[in-house]
Every structure is written in structure tokens, then in C-alpha cells.
Chains A and B, each alone.
Chain A
């Protein structure tokens, strides 16, 4: 029995890893629900390392709203006290595939985000800002992007980084043997398809203008293109040495010997144990302040490592209990954080009863989401009503229906939709009983959901049939087979607001056809003007909030706890540790 419990939970772990697995942009760190992976870091503004105030802020209703500063650094375990030039962070499972665009797990992405810098990065709100590229221009028709690289950029071995490297990086992602998860091939770079089919030896749309300048032309406008194109750069001299069209196998041999241009370079990878990084003296912003950085592989519970001082930084679910326990340690600073993701239930729109908007709205009103996602989680969550995270620049609550728990309203809507209570208390329409077949992955949260939903649905007169999967792959197979009504998912890290609608374009949800949605979605992508986009997204969110092609559930809340000696730890929800890490110092 206990074997199977561990087995199930590890499967679940894997499931959640997959669910959040980062595949398009190695800048994007991954949040796994397990609370022990390093993910995009907390959303505090500015530097928080200075131990200015020692009086803790009061904790409102289970969640920490303000950063909390360590109360007693003398309690710091000796192991952590001894370190002078090394910072250790726990990470679930780096596999050693450290080449961006070629890694399968988001945990490897956490590592490569420190080894490689990007052309363009994003600020705390997800707005693009320059990194390796000093500036860029977008043509009037929104099709051509011209990047101007900084002068004297170098890879960590001292070799120069030029526009040729950028061109090479983009090109190999159009190779027919490319099996990675980058979303660059979906941007439709001009001539990319021809290259992939072997009809051209170069990609037409990519033009190296001079060693510092490169432009790329797309076939149709896409506002996410800037960040996707502006990702990591691979050295052509190193990664392109053995490149022949149609064969990328050789790159696997280079995974464990990455050559990057980021703040750190790889010193040593010990499988299953740790990834040792050392400061890169050729980093364009200057050598990072802390010489050594180590990702320690830590499967499962990370508490013991924080308590013994073996790691300096860890993330936890923001439950009241966790926060109290962390404060009691005395030597950790705590940052509250909401990841850039949202949870939702996918609805089987093929099924007659769920095609009806009124029914979907009835379910939203009839489910006590507050109990399931907030109260039962001890405050480590909040309710979602739109396909965007509250930390996104596009997030809005204007004109958004919060769908407060209201069973009476739900019943009324069901009556309106023609589902009337039958003989045995189950609603019927045309002689068919109303039943909901729900799929979820095995977890404590699913257990809570099922317990509450069972009661809620019974009150509405809906027959509720939950099915729980220990294995994420099996769950997805079942969904692909169409044998479900509702299924719980969570998005992966969203960088651009457009990412929040991903499921409607990647083949997951194919049955929602609404010309208005497509029109607005494309309108938002066709411009790079943030204010203009904001307005369109507001309309889109209102549309989704009313139409409910998916049922919104919740946002997660986590806290980051870190060794109180670390200073200058500021955080951006979109790029993880990579943003501020070069500035970290040990007091």
C-alpha cells in the first residue's frame, strides 16, 4: 500500500512537471506545484534584501501580502553560515540537457536560463526590455523585426557573439529533424517552411545586415514574436560546427558541455545530485557578484535542507501553516508570490448539455470555488475568472463577473436551459439525465474538489461521476479520446497575454468556434502597442468570462523563503532567478 502511495505521488510529480513543462522559451522557469523547484521568483518590487525593518507585517487571512525579513540571523545553521562565495538552490530534477531549445524538461530550463542570456527579456509586468539586443525596430506592417546587438558581446569562452550566431539559432529550429518544443517554428518566418522541406539552403526571411544587426521577416503579424525571436543565442562556431541539414543528433553530445553567454557557466554536472555553476567573467553586464551557484537536486520535501542550511532558497505553497513554520525558523526572508499561470476546467464542448452557455454559467455559479481553492488551501490560492494571471499587465477585473457561489442562481439558469428536475432528483432534458463525468489527476487538491463538487452538484440535481488518474499521460489520452465532460488543468507559465489562450490553438480545444474570439485574438496580436493590446484583451476577457469556453478555477499562491544573508534578491515573475541573480551577494 505504501509503495503505491509513493508511486502515485511520484507519478503525479511527473505529471505536474509535464503540465508545466517549459518548451518554448528557456527564459521561462517552471513552477511545479510541489513547491521545491526553483521557479520564477516572487513578485516583490525592487530590492528586498536590506534588513531594514524587523517588525513583521501582519498576515491577512492565510496569505502573506508583504515580504517578511528574517528576525534572527544568528539562528542560521552552521552549514549556511560557513558559505562565503556559494549560493545553493534546490531544483527538482535537472537531467543534463542544458542546450536551450533542445531540452525536454523545464528543470533543465532553470539551469540554461543562467547559462544563456536572451536578446530580449521581460520586466516584472511581462513587457519586453533589451538584453543582448540593445534595441530593435518593428516595421510598419508588423512583419519585419530588426535587432541591434550590443557591441563586444562574448560567449563564455571569450569568442564573439554576432548576428551570425542569431541567424544560426533561428535557422536550426526550422530543421526537419528539430524535435524540441520551441514555438519559433509556429511564427511562420518567411522561407522557413521551404527550408524545412529542403527546398532552400537558407531561410529567406532571416537577413544578417552586419555583425551587429539582423532582421527577420514573418509571413503574418504576431505580437509574441518579439519575445520568441528574442530568446537565447547559440554559438554557431560551437553548436554549428557539425551541422548538416536534417541531422541534429550531434547536438545531444554537447548538452552537458554548454557554451553560453549568461551570468554563469557550467562547472560540473553530477547526475541526480547537483549542477555547479561558476561566474562568467565574460558576461556582458559584468561578472556576477557571487562566484559559485549550485542547483542541488532535491526530490520531494525540501524543508529538511532549508532547516539544515543545505539550501539557501526554496519555494512553498503559501498556506498559513507553511508561513508560520518559515517565520519560526527566524533566519529566512519570505516573499509572497503568485505565479503567472491559471487553473481551469476544460469543458467537452461536443457534449450536448455543455454546448449551452447557460449550463456552463450554472456550473460556475453552482460550484463553491471559494471553499475548494481558497479555504481548503489555507489561503494558498485565489479565484480565477479570466484566462490571465493577476500579475500580467493585461489583467483586469473591469466588467468581469466574479461568479460568486450562488446555487439558487445556478438552478435558475439550469431551469432556463431546459433541464428540469426529474423523478429521482436528477435533472433531465428530453428524457436524458444530466451527468458530469469529471477527470482529475491524483492529488490532495483533486480530493478536495471532488468532495465539495459532489455536494454542490447533488444540490443542483446533477449526477457527478469523478474519475482520478495517477498518471498524467493516461489522463491526457482519455481526454484525447473525448470520454469526459470536465477535466482539470493548469496552464504553464504565461509570458504574453496571448499565451493564456494557447489551449485553443494547440489542438487541445478544437470545438470552440466563435468568430468574435478569433477576431479579437488576432487584433491583439497584430499590434505591439501595449495600451492598444490592453484594451483588446479586456474585451477578450469579458467575452470569455461570459461565454466560458473553459471554466476558470484558481490562481496558486506560493512563498519563497531564502537565507536572510542573501542581499539584492529582487524578483520578476517571468524570468525567474536569472534576472537578479548576478546581483546577489552574501552579507
Chain B
């Protein structure tokens, strides 16, 4: 296991290195830089600014410098926001994480329960209803559901706030603050759960159906085990195994922010910030964030491999 880990870590470093180079070059080759967009500047001023920002240096030199600083924990200063990149992450990423973590958790819990029950009662009215609902949810565009819910629940009925994370100007602390945030995140979480639920439920349902047809389930039942025990101890565990791979991929998504949801609900997350930075060619921020997601992806895959082994000792690493 430990040699495996060492090897994996080494691979990870190589992958990250290659990814960073690739990403850096891609950004460098995209037409236009941070200064291009400011059409009010004279050619001389543009040259001066490129000099100040170091944008006039060759790509590889810039990359080297960036790597060097990154190793020292310095991801540079955002050009557009005039703040250190890491500080910006701190400002925005936890908001995204909060939203994503809560909705991912709810999505999984609901998907497992609904998936298992509808697999167990395959072709029952419940199963049919679930399948219809799933297709309906999957075929709706997120911005449509989002705006629809805002219109009904926030604007017309005034039950929930239409957006943001706290009531504007509020100085609430402690429980009152918590209550405010929960109220504000209800709508975005509902939309995110609705959107994620469909595919995951289908996934669990079909896994469960496969497992329930296995011989060992029949054996378990034949032994006279209680149906509940058969379902939850024998079947569910095996049905959930393949899902561990999915868990690893959730990790970057937790921190990556959802551009659409954050935009519709005015949520102060990193997704919006990232998109804006792309339009402005704010390289320090773009590079920092992309690398961060790359690192999370690699860690996520490693994490799911290890989990897999823990869950199923037959799996060799």
C-alpha cells in the first residue's frame, strides 16, 4: 500500500506539473491580455503597463516565475481586483463550498433513499412516479427553475429572499445569522438538489436493481434473513460501491462554485468571480484557481481509490 501511495503521489506531481504548463500556455495563447481590453490606453501606455505587469516577457519565463512564486505560496495579485489571489479565494470559496456541500449532501441522501426504494419496488406506482419526476427535473433548464422559484416564492409570496447570502445591511450574529443564511440558501439549494437528483437517483436505482438480481441476495433471502437486513446489509453496500468513484469527482465541484446558480441567486461564490476574471484575462487569478481545481481533482481521485480499497478489500491497489 505504501509503495503504491508513493507512486501515486509521484504521478500526481507529474500530472499537476504537466497540467500547470498546459494551462499556462493555453491562457497565454488566448488572444488578448488584461491590458488589451482597455481600449482607452495609448500604445505607449499599454507597453508601459505590460512591462510593469511582466506581460511582455516570453511565456516560458513567465511560467517559470509563476511556478517559483507558487512554490513559495505566492499566487500573485489579481490584476482586476487588486488583491492577493489567495485572499480572494478566502473571500469567495467558502461561500461556494457551503452551498455545494449542503446541496451535495442532500442530493446523495435523497438519491440513495429514493433510488433504493424505487429499485426495490420496481414497476410499482412509486417507481413510475419517481421516474416521471426525474425526467421532468432533468429536462428543465436551471435558470428557468431558478427564476421561476424566485418569482413564485420570493417576489409573489415573499416567503424567501430572492438572492444574496444575508439580508442587506443586517448585523445579525450567532443563531440569527445562521437563520438568515439558511433562509437565503434555501432556494439555491433546492434548485441544485433538483438538478443533481435525477441522474444520481437513476444511477442508484439501476445499481440496486442489478444487485437485487444477484445470486447472493437470493441466498440471503433463502436463509430466511429479514428483508430489511437483506436490503440494507447485503444489497445496499454492494450497490453503493461503484458510487465511491463518483465521490472523488465531487471534491473539485464542491469548491468550484456553480456559475449559473450563483449568478441567478446573487450568491457571493467563486464561480462568478472566475468567469469575470476570464473575461478580463486576469491571469494570476485564473492560473491560481485553475491549479487549485486541478489539485483538488487529483486528490479527489486518489481519495476515491483509497476509499474503494477500504470499502472492498478485494480491490488491489
Residues of A within 8 A of B (CB): 2-3, 6-7, 10-11, 13-15, 18-19, 21, 23-24, 77-78, 83, 86, 88, 93, 95-97, 102-105, 177, 179, 181, 186, 252, 255-256, 270-274, 276, 292, 294, 296-301, 304-305, 307-308, 310-311, 471-474, 476-478, 480, 489, 492, 502-503, 505-508
Contacts and interface: CB of A to CB of B under 8 A. Distances in A.
Interface in B157-172: 158, 161-166, 168-169
Nearest to A503: B39
A18 B83 CA distance: 19
A308 B80 contact: no
A272 B91 contact: yes
24 contacts: A2-B260, A6-B259, A6-B263, A10-B272, A18-B37, A21-B37, A21-B40, A23-B41, A88-B169, A103-B82, A104-B79, A252-B83, A271-B88, A271-B91, A272-B267, A273-B165, A298-B163, A304-B163, A308-B155, A308-B158, A311-B168, A473-B37, A474-B30, A507-B46
B260 A6 contact: yes
A7 B276 CA distance: 10
Contacts of A294: 168-169
B162 A272 contact: no
Interface string B154-191: 11001001111110110000000000000000000000
A308 B162 contact: yes
Interface string B273-297: 1011011110000000000000000
B169 A507 contact: no
A97 B143 contact: no
A474 B280 CA distance: 10
Contacts of A507: 41-44, 46
Interface string B239-278: 0000000000000000000011001101111001101101
B77 interface: yes
Contacts of A273: 164-166, 268
A471 B279 CA distance: 6
A21 B80 CA distance: 11
A538 B61 CA distance: 52
Given A18-B38, A271-B268, A473-B32, A6 B143 contact: yes
B36 A480 contact: yes
Contacts of B42: 186, 505-507
B150 interface: yes
B82 A477 contact: no
A6 B257 CA distance: 14
B142 interface: yes
B81 A23 contact: no
Residue from the set B53, B79, B263, B266 with the largest chain A CB neighbour count within 10 Å = B266
B95 interface: yes
B52 interface: yes
- Contact size class for B? 35 or more
A3 B143 CA distance: 9
B127 interface: no
Given A255-B83, A506-B42, A304 B150 contact: yes
Nearest to A98: B82
B92 interface: yes
B258 to A, nearest CB: 10
A186 B111 CA distance: 63
B141 interface: yes
Contacts of B269: 272
Contacts of B164: 273, 296, 310
A273 to B, nearest CB: 5
B313 interface: no
B276 A10 contact: yes
Contacts of B101: none
Interface in B15-47: 30-33, 36-44, 46
A105 B263 contact: no
Nearest to A293: B169
Contact of B155 (A15, A304, A492): A304
B39 A476 contact: yes
B53 A272 contact: no
B217 interface: no
A487 to B, nearest CB: 11
A21 B38 contact: yes
A95 B31 contact: no
Contact of A300 (B37, B155, B166, B266): B266
Nearest to B273: A272
A97 B39 CA distance: 21
A521 to B, nearest CB: 16
Nearest to B80: A104
Q: 8 closest pairs, A vs B, by CB?
A: A272-B268, A14-B279, A473-B32, A477-B31, A97-B82, A271-B91, A507-B43, A304-B162
B131 interface: no
B94 to A, nearest CB: 11
